[in-house]
Amino acid sequence: MVPNVTQRPPAPSSAPKFLVAVAAVLSALLLAGCGVRLETDVPKPLVPSANELMRQGMVNDLVLIAQDADAAGKSVAADSPTSTELSAVADQASAYQDLLGGVYVSGLPQEEAEQDEVAASPAPATPENVLTRLTDSIARVRSTLPLMEDPELARLFASISISNTLSARDLAAALAQDATDNADAPMVTLEPAAESIPDTVFAGIDPALVTALIVSEDGAGYSYEVLAAMRQPDRRAIALTNATFHRTTAQTWAAVTQVADTAEDPRRVAYDLPLSMSVEAYVAPDSELVEMAQTVEVGLATRYLDLVALAAPEHRAFFFDAAIRSALIGAAWGVPRTELPF
């Protein structure tokens, strides 16, 4: 008798699924070959941080300054002081653009078109408009210092603005020199307006740094008093003016920190000076006196810029203004303008 063996049904073939997959791949290839492809989402632009927005704003300022300075330089006599200053302004602004990383390029067509519109200067390129761009940029930086999240970026912007201040000073002087009539020369005010200083201006700053600042300001006043005594009578006035300014500033800082005329007052009767004098030559060479004045102002401007980074955001502008004042005094004593002087 033949045993009854139960037959199993045949396993389903995987061939149809394989063929479907192959057909799908071939269809995709054919569609790609015909210029048809599946749609993907349009890339979205990155959302810039507050620091990046500040950086882009500063770069845009520098782009317009460089463009206008270059174009305006072609409208004046090539051998004129104004032409020389415009060339220096254009070169400096371009260098600062590179320092800050240049214009942001997203790679998205729509944003690049918008960036091209921003980069185009709507105002005519004249030396006077370049001067206005410089002063507007300085004012813009001052107003945004409290908003910057990165203290070091705030210091960098302040330093660039000091260079722009010196550029504006030199350009205004060149325009006045080239003007056939003094009435044609633009009037520009670069000296920051005096403001009342809050008692909390040094809040959070190392007391040792504050003490060093008071000593530096008072020592600057002493230096100018000695300088005035050693110069010819007709050249003493500016030195005495500087001496009074720095002594007054030292007194202001000492009063704000409540150390004025107390046992903690760090000011001294006299300070060591980098001058070569002797019994035979009790008047230092004029070159040493000028160099001393330059060193004093560069040192103070640097201290104040450091305080821009260390101060509370709402107090940065006070130290920015102080740095500008020292930079302008230093420039009057011949401190050369470089890309980043402080």
Question: Over the stretch 83-104, which tens digit does the pLDDT of each residue have?
Answer: 999 999 999 999 999 999 998 7
CA 33 to CA 272: how far, in whole Å? 83
Q: Which two tokens stand for residue 108?
A: 């998205």
Q: Are 54 and 153 in contact (CB under 8 A)?
A: yes
What angle do the packed helices 127-144 and 151-178 form, to 10 degrees?
160
Residue 21 has pLDDT above 80, yes or no: no
Residue 5 has pLDDT above 80, yes or no: no
CA 64 to CA 144: how far, in whole Å? 19
> Averaged over 113-123, what is the pLDDT?
56
Nearest to 145 by CA among 133, 159, 132, 134: 159
Selected residue with higher pLDDT from 231 and 25: 231
Residue 114 has pLDDT above 90, yes or no: no
Residue 120 has pLDDT above 70, yes or no: no
CA 211 to CA 266: how far, in whole Å? 7
**What's the confidence (pLDDT) of residue 170?**
95
> Averaged over 244-268, what is the pLDDT?
96
**What's the confidence (pLDDT) of residue 231?**
85
**What's the confidence (pLDDT) of residue 253?**
97
**What's the confidence (pLDDT) of residue 222?**
97
Nearest to 274 by CA among 222, 229, 231: 222
Q: Are 64 and 133 in contact (CB under 8 A)?
A: yes
Selected residue with higher pLDDT from 185 and 341: 341
**What's the confidence (pLDDT) of residue 48?**
77
pLDDT band for position 331 (50/70/90)? very high
